[in-house]
Amino acid sequence: MTRTSGTQGGPVTLSKEGLPGWLDPVVRAAETVAPRQLSRFLPPEDGAGRQSAVLILFGEGERGPELLLMERATSLRSHAGQPSFPGGALDPEDGDPHGDGPLRAALREAEEETGLDPSGVQLFGVLPKLYIPVSGFVVTPVLGWWRVPSPVGVVDPNETARVFTVPVADLTHPDNRATAVHPRGHQGPAFLVESALVWGFTAGVIDRLLHFAGWERPWDRDKQVPLDWRS
């Protein structure tokens, strides 16, 4: 089992031991996917950008596999009101951004934002680093299995509006899928789940994970959802 408690101190490692069988396709996807298969926005070659990490946490709920998401507070300067994975910028105490720093940061941020108990999380994979041009973040998506579930909820209302889980079955259902259209013209995948519109970076990663894990179902890509001009 992965040691994750006390994320400020001891080693935080990856382990695939004892994972539920339904996660096998996700494990394989993480091991084989190429950066450009995930996004056309990759980290600048000159090393610019602020190192950050997100936790893509898979749990098992009443309706089967599910993902942990949160909705950012509308008062935040960047990505206000958007559903997202827990995560944020690396702190110096997280350690090497090219080593286990992103693992430690993903767990620390998830604990700070949702109250998640990191000791119940088994980290099992890392996706290639991606880039969010609008905020200049270089993001490491860290994959986790919620081996021992713990209560989660809003810790700081100034940062987080709500914390919720979404069944994978809802994310793959064609009725809940659409193409988000930004006022500036660019388009991307979107999910209408749990009374939320998931779009942008988070939706893009979920979309690619569903695809490469073989969970994707055919959906109507011509179904469009316009985004607010403030997005």
Segment 103-138, tens digit of pLDDT: 999 999 999 999 999 999 999 999 999 999 988 999
79 — pLDDT class (breaks 50, 70, 90): low
Q: What is the CATH number of the domain that holds 108?
A: 3.90.79.10
Residue 124 included in any domain:
yes
Strands (E), the chain: 50-61, 64-72, 83-84, 87-89, 121-126, 130-132, 137-146, 160-167, 177-181, 187-193, 196-198, 224-226
Residue 64 included in any domain:
yes
Residue 130 included in any domain:
yes
**The domain containing residue 158 runs over which residues?**
21-32+39-226
Report how far residue 1's alpha carbon sits from residue 70's, in angstroms, rounded to the nearest whole number: 26
2 — pLDDT class (breaks 50, 70, 90): very low
What is the count of structural domains for the chain?
1
To which residue do tokens 């041009």 refer?
A: 133
Residue 8 included in any domain:
no
DSSP 16: -
Residue 105 included in any domain:
yes
Q: pTM for the full model?
A: 0.92
